[in-house]
Amino acid sequence: MNRDNLLTDPKEEIVELIADEMQQIKRKLTEIKQQIEQTQAIVDREQQRSADIATDLRNIQDNLDTVPRQDIKAKYDEALDSRFRLATMRGQLEKFQAHYEYMEKQQQLLNQLMGKLQGVGTLGDVDEPIIPGQPAPSVNFVRIIQAQEDERQRLSVQMHDGPAQSLTNFILQAEICQKLFDRNPERAAEELNNLKTAASTTFQKVRDFIFDLRPMMLTDLGVVPTVRRYVDSFKDKTDIETELEILGDERRLESHREVMVFRSIQELMGHVRDYAGASHMKVRVDLSGSTIKMLVEDDGRGFNPEPIFSGEEGNLDSRTQGLINLKERIEMVGGSISITSDEGSGSTIRLELPAG
């Protein structure tokens, strides 16, 4: 039987997949645009409501001695509710707008890829035959895009539910302090102390988010100090006893390789924290040769690594899917991954990456 009849033409398959993805993005952009318009209308309405309540509060302040206490309380409760709703909807609007901009960029990227595919005969190793059981290059590409979007969405939700809500509470607490200074200075001082504590906690959360998004010290100092800082922070926030070992001379690598090393270790440590139920973990980075070697070993519950290397797509859990995405990213830059793990006996994951 002719081999060409068994295998789909790689270029045509990639074009078809990209076209399907572009159609999905187009539909998503339409949906997100409608959500932006609807949310913007709510924000405008809440802004007007907040302005009206502010006017009422000024009138109450001018006539504080004659307004019933219950009416004052009701109006302040309404003001708090309005501010909370307005801050929440603004956060939602910003999330939709950021998502829309991201999807537009993906659409532009796919347009460029489509143009290259339709304009030239090859793109990298597209003309090489697809091996049965292994995903086509375009499948990897789409999966990586989805993984990036999932990560951005997770951080967006965390920012909205964490620091953004805390900042809203800061405004309310500051207004309470302002009202209490003349009437109850001791209570005002207590509220200010609570505000200071909350601000310190929120500031640390914001720093953690910034570090997760892009640690500045990775650019300034390199991957080894960044990994050390991340491991120290990890030990402070978890009950996992974590040991870090650095082999070879500390040296700078190309920027994208330093990012790849740090993100790989960060992701593997996150998997141990979220899925392994481990009490001890060992992290090793070896910079002594022409190949960067990384190891993350834990004494947790272990898992079946077979789906990661077999190309099976059915019933994958979050940990397995995340490791598949990591494997594809590592292999795209000429690296490799090996996993030793059994149910109930921990895991050892080794990564190798050309030093460049």
Residues 6+ apart with CB under 8 A from 179: none
In the DSSP assignment, the letter for residue 222 is -
The pTM is what? 0.51
Do 204 and 311 belong together in one domain? no
Question: pLDDT at position 339, please?
Answer: 94
Q: Are residues 71 and 205 in the same domain?
A: yes
Token pair, residue 298, equals 């834990």
Residues 325, 178 share a domain: no
Asked whether residue 8 falls in the same domain as residue 131, the answer is yes
**Same structural domain for residues 51 and 92?**
yes
Enclosing domain of residue 232: 216-354
- Does one domain contain both 74 and 93? yes
| Structure confidence at residue 132 (pLDDT) | 38
| Residue where a domain stops, chosen among 213, 232, 261 | 213
Whether 284 and 204 map to the same domain: the answer is no
Burial label for 269, CB within 10 Å (0-12, 13-18, 19+), is buried
Give me the sign of the Cα torsion angle 115, 14, 325, 103: positive
Bridge partners of 226?
A: none
195 with 223, same domain? no
Domain check: are 266 and 330 in the same one? yes
Q: Count up the domains in the chain and report the number.
A: 2
Average pLDDT, the chain: 79
Single out the residue in 191, 213, 235 at which a domain terminates.
213
Mean pLDDT of 253-272: 90
Residues 143 and 13 in one domain: yes
Condensed to tens digits (0 to 9), the pLDDT of residues 39-80 reads 888 888 888 888 888 888 888 877 877 888 788 888 877 887
Nearest to 39 by CA among 140, 160, 151: 160
Same domain, 203 and 314: no
* pLDDT band for position 232 (cuts 50, 70, 90): very high
How are beta strands 241-247 and 280-286 bridged, if at all?
parallel
CATH of the domain at 225: 3.30.565.10
- Of 189, 213, 237, which marks where a domain is finished? 213
Phi and psi, residue 238, nearest 5° = -130, 170
- According to the model, what pLDDT value does residue 37 have? 87
268-300: pLDDT as tens digits = 999 999 889 999 999 999 999 899 999 999 999
Does residue 276 share a domain with residue 148?
Answer: no
